[in-house]
Amino acid sequence: MSAQPTTTTATAPGGDPGDGRHASADGLKAGLKNRHLSMIAIGGVIGAGLFAGSGQGIAAAGPAILISYALVGLLVVLVMRMLGEMAAADPSSGSFSAYADRALGRWAGFSIGWLYWFFWVVVLAVEATIAAEILEGWVPAVPQWGWALIVMVVLTATNLVSVGSYGEFEFWFAGIKVVAIGAFVVVGALAVFGLLPGSDNPGTGLAHLTDAGGFFPHGYGAILTGILMVVFSFMGSEIVTLAAGESADPQRAVSKATNSVIWRVAVFYLGSIFVVVTLLPWNDKSIVEQGSYVAALNSIGIPHAGQIMNVIILTAVLSCLNSGLYTASRMAFSLGQRGDAPASFARTNARGVPMAAILSSVAFGFLAVFFNYKWPDTVFEFLLNASGAVALFVWLVICCTQLRMRGIILREAPDRLVVRMWLFPYLTWATIAMISFVLLYMLFDDSGRQQVLLSLLAAAFVVSIGVVRDRARLR
């Protein structure tokens, strides 16, 4: 029998599991409040990639990028439903890695846990660099590497204080993102139909969806190209299932987050991209040169649009950094608990903080930042490509795990199956097919081939270690 997640739910006299009296048996403290979990769930699906990468996607697919976002959004909804089913039944700091450990074997939990950790520590370097570029533009007296160091140190300190301080920072970071995108969608929609007073945009309605070469200016195949360009901007939705183990009522938090993912994807992704491609023709050069959101705001006549978006992007980047460090450290903590990482990773201090797991994660993040400045086109590019397809690997493992975990949950604790995957197992198999198709398509795409090959190489390396460890353990 593989190691099981060690987070348990305490039942008070006369109470029931999930009634808010949650105690963690693994040393972590239930320091996240309901409002923290709610905002982590909402903000987790909004990454910096939405602001930075959407312009390239629009240029590649035209208005059809909306279909690309809708398909990837559907994929995220289905994957989150599966993960929500498992996490609501058994909240764990290791989330899908702990479930894979149990359902597929120790090698699977080991492999996907370390790959996920690797993905997020590389993201730390990427986001720290983006934040440093913005801050250096405001205060050039401090060099870019200095800003990257300051940002990393501040957010490391935040995570080291307590899980509550992480939750509080993320509550405000995510709140700013949510309010900003919500306002963008409302103001932009009014401008699209000529209802915004004082707008510079003439309000052409839906004309821009077809007036520059049609809805599919680059053909139907561009939808797949668009999928490859936007899929990684959705990574982060699963963070709430890791954080739930440190909340007072994890079952309720996971259920709420899972049920709300549909409207979050619809409003924040589809809604904001719809506004961009209806305010401007898809081939307007400013969409790529200035960024899609800045270009849209400029078309309305919003003054200082570039600086406004820089503040919002900086907030999104800091949010991603904050959550990335939290996520990497909790995955390292879970791996330590299961004997798949140094035992020190599983130790917590008096405040319930896994200091060794946090410091080791940020140390690799600092090293990756150094690689980005010293060898950006060789070593760091290799790290980026080697982690590029990990998001899809994670989703694929979640699907395969859920196929097995449903039976385990029904056999051991059927009363905890409060979130159920729709049309099981048919939609689960359909999701596996969709993810496999995207990975296969990447092999035949010039821009995606290197990412998927190097990511497969990294996965093969980690899986081989996991298999060898399993065999050694059995002997």
How does pLDDT run across 76-99, given as a tens digit for each residue?
899 999 999 999 888 877 889 999
Flag whether pLDDT at 3 surpasses 60: no
> In whole numbers, what is the pLDDT of the chain averaged over residues?
84
Q: What is residue 4's predicted lDDT score, i.e. its pLDDT?
A: 37
Q: What is residue 459's predicted lDDT score, i.e. its pLDDT?
A: 92
Q: What is residue 19's predicted lDDT score, i.e. its pLDDT?
A: 36
Q: What is residue 301's predicted lDDT score, i.e. its pLDDT?
A: 87
- DSSP 8-state assignment for residue 19: S
Is the distance from CB of 335 to CB of 113 less than 8 angstroms? yes
* The CA-based dihedral angle spanning residues 386, 234, 323, 43, taken in that order and rounded to the nearest 10 degrees: 170
How does pLDDT run across 398-416, given as a tens digit for each residue?
999 999 999 999 999 899 8
The pLDDT confidence band at residue 16, using thresholds 50, 70 and 90, is very low
Q: What is residue 423's predicted lDDT score, i.e. its pLDDT?
A: 95
**What pTM did the predictor assign?**
0.87
- To the nearest whole percent, how much of the chain has pLDDT over 90? 31
When pLDDT is averaged across residues 203-211 and rounded to a whole number, the result is 86
When pLDDT is averaged across residues 12-33 and rounded to a whole number, the result is 50
Flag whether pLDDT at 53 surpasses 80: no
The pLDDT confidence band at residue 114, using thresholds 50, 70 and 90, is very high
Flag whether pLDDT at 10 surpasses 50: no
Q: What is residue 249's predicted lDDT score, i.e. its pLDDT?
A: 77
Q: What is residue 322's predicted lDDT score, i.e. its pLDDT?
A: 85
Q: What distances in angstroms separate CA 269 from CA 51, 78, 181, 184, 191, one per listed residue?
A: 10, 16, 9, 12, 18
In single-letter form, the type of residue at position 130 comes to I
Rg (CA), the chain: 22
Flag whether pLDDT at 314 surpasses 90: no
The H helix count followed by the E strand count for the chain is: 19, 0
Flag whether pLDDT at 22 surpasses 80: no
Cα angle 134, 139, 141; round to 5: 125
Q: What is residue 205's predicted lDDT score, i.e. its pLDDT?
A: 84
Query: Distance between CA atoms of 171 and 319, rounded to whole angstroms?
Result: 9
More confident: 52 or 366 = 366
- C-beta atoms surrounding 347 within 10 Å: 16
SS3 content of the chain, % helix, strand, coil (to 5): 75, 0, 25
- In degrees and rounded to multiples of 5, residue 32 shows phi and psi of -90, 125
Q: What is residue 261's predicted lDDT score, i.e. its pLDDT?
A: 80
More confident: 464 or 313 = 464
Query: Distance between CA atoms of 395 and 139, rounded to whole angstroms?
Result: 40
Q: What distances in angstroms separate CA 298 from CA 49, 64, 200, 237, 336, one per listed residue?
A: 20, 23, 9, 30, 50
Q: What is residue 47's predicted lDDT score, i.e. its pLDDT?
A: 64
* The CA-based dihedral angle spanning residues 35, 39, 42, 44, taken in that order and rounded to the nearest 10 degrees: -130
Helix segments in 267-389, DSSP class H: 272-279, 286-289, 292-300, 305-337, 355-374, 379-388
Residue 350 CA to its chain's centroid (Å): 29
